[in-house]
C-alpha cells in the first residue's frame, strides 16, 4: 500500500546518508524514465526496490553506480556526487548486474583477480570467495562455459571481495537455483550485520519483505513506499 511518496525508508540519519537523491530525473531521448526522485537511505539499511519491467529500477541503480548521468537533480553516494566525484563514489560501492558482469574468455579466478585488483582490494581471498559461492571446482574454467546461474554466483563472489560499503544489486536472485537464492539471502543478512547498505531491485516480492528494512516501489518514474506484501 503506497504511502508518502517522498518518505525516507530509514530512520533520521545521524551520519551522511549512504544514498541521497534530490529531484533526480533521467531522460532517454524524449522519454522521462525517472521523474524527480527524492530518497535518503541511512548506512547499514537494506532497501528493496520493486517495479514492473521498464519502470526505471535498473536506471536508478546504474545512475547510483555512476554509469548514467542524471538529466536533472543530484545523486550522492556517502556524500559523493555521482558525477563530480564519481571515482570517490565508486570507491564505496559494488554492483552485481543481471547477467553477472564477467568476461567469458577469462577464468572465474582471473575475473575475480581483475575485479578485486582494480578495486585495490587484497587478492588473497579469491579461493575462499569462490568456495563460498560454490564455484571452487570450476575456478580455472573459462566463464563462457558457465551457466547463467554460475555467472551470477561469480558476481556474488566479486561482491564479497569488493569490501564495499554499498551494494547495488540488480535482480540478485534471478537465474539462481534455490540454494543460490538462499545464498543471496544469507549474504544480504551478513551485509546488514556488517553495516553494509544494500539497495536491490527485485521481483521477489515476498522474499524482499523478509530481507529488507524498507520496500520501495517505482511506478511511472516516481518512488513510493510499500509497507506490506500486496494481496
Partner 1 sequence: MNDLYAVWLVARKDLLQESRSKAVTVATLFFSAVTLVVIAFAIGQDTRLLREAAMGALWVALAFASVISAAQSYQADLEDGAFDALLTTPVPRPAVYLGKLLANWAFMVVLGLVMLPVTIVLYGAEAGPHWPWLIPTIALGTLGFALIAVLYAGLTANLRARESLLPVLMFPVVVPILLAAVRASGALVGIGDLELATGWLLLLAGFDLVYVVLCTAIYHFVVEE
As beta bridge partners, residue 168 has 95, 199
Q: Using the rule CB under 8 A, is 147 a contact of partner 1? A: no
Q: Are 142 and 105 in contact (CB under 8 A)?
A: yes
Between residues 196 and 224, which has the closer beta carbon with respect to partner 1? 196
Least distance to partner 1, CB of residue 106, Å: 7
Residue 36, phi then psi, degrees to nearest 5? 110, 70
> By rule CB under 8 A, what string of x and - marks binding of each residue 13-52 to partner 1?
----------------------------------------
156 forms part of the interface with partner 1 (CB under 8 A): no
- In the list 11, 29, 120, 230, the residue contacting partner 1 (rule: CB under 8 A) is 120
Residue 214 beta carbon to partner 1: minimum distance, rounded to whole angstroms: 24
User: What is the rounded distance in angstroms from the CA atom of residue 12 to the CA atom of residue 72?
Assistant: 25
Q: Any contact of residue 85 with partner 1 (CB under 8 A)?
A: no
CB of 206 to partner 1, least distance (A): 27
118, with CB counted inside 10 A (0-12, 13-18, 19+), is exposed
Pull the grid cell for residue 84. Answer: 563530480
State which of positions 88-117 bind partner 1 (CB under 8 A).
88, 90-91, 93-95, 97-106, 110, 114-115, 117
Q: Which is nearer to partner 1, 78 or 226 (CB)?
A: 78
The span of 13-21, 46-54, 60-68, 126-134 binding partner 1 (CB under 8 A) equals: 60-68
Question: Of the candidates 12, 10, 21, which has an alpha carbon nearest to the alpha carbon of residue 218?
Answer: 21
Residue 143's closest CA among 114, 117, 174, 171? Answer: 114
Distance between CA atoms of 148 and 96, rounded to whole angstroms? 13
Grid coordinates in use for 81? 556526487
Binding footprint of partner 1 on the chain (CB under 8 A): 62, 65-69, 87-88, 90-91, 93-95, 97-106, 110, 114-115, 117-120, 142, 151, 155, 158
Amino acid at each position: 500500500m503506497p504511502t508518502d511518496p517522498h518518505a525516507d525508508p530509514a530512520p533520521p540519519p545521524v551520519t551522511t546518508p549512504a544514498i541521497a537523491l534530490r529531484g533526480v530525473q533521467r531522460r532517454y531521448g524524449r522519454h522521462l524514465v525517472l521523474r524527480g526522485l527524492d530518497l535518503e537511505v541511512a548506512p547499514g539499511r537494506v532497501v528493496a526496490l520493486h517495479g514492473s519491467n521498464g519502470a526505471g529500477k535498473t536506471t536508478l541503480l546504474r545512475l547510483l553506480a555512476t554509469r548514467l548521468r542524471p538529466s536533472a537533480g543530484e545523486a550522492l553516494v556517502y556524500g559523493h556526487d555521482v558525477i563530480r566525484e564519481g571515482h570517490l563514489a565508486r570507491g564505496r560501492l559494488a554492483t552485481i548486474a543481471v547477467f553477472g558482469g564477467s568476461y567469458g574468455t577469462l577464468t572465474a579466478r582471473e575475473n575475480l583477480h581483475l575485479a578485486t585488483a582494480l578495486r585495490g582490494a587484497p587478492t588473497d581471498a579469491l579461493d575462499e570467495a569462490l568456495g563460498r559461492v560454490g564455484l571452487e571446482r570450476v575456478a580455472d574454467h573459462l566463464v563462457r562455459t558457465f551457466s547463467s546461474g554460475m555467472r551470477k554466483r561469480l558476481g556474488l563472489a566479486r561482491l564479497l571481495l569488493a569490501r564495499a560499503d554499498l551494494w547495488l544489486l540488480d535482480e540478485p536472485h534471478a537465474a539462481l537455483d534455490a540454494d543460490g537464492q538462499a545464498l543471496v539471502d544469507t549474504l544480504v543478512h551478513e551485509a546488514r550485520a556488517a553495516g553494509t547498505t544494500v539497495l536491490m531491485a527485485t521481483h521477489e516480492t515476498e522474499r524482499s519483505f523478509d530481507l529488507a528494512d524498507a520496500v520501495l516501489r517505482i511506478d511511472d518514474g516516481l518512488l513510493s513506499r510499500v509497507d506490506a506484501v500486496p494481496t
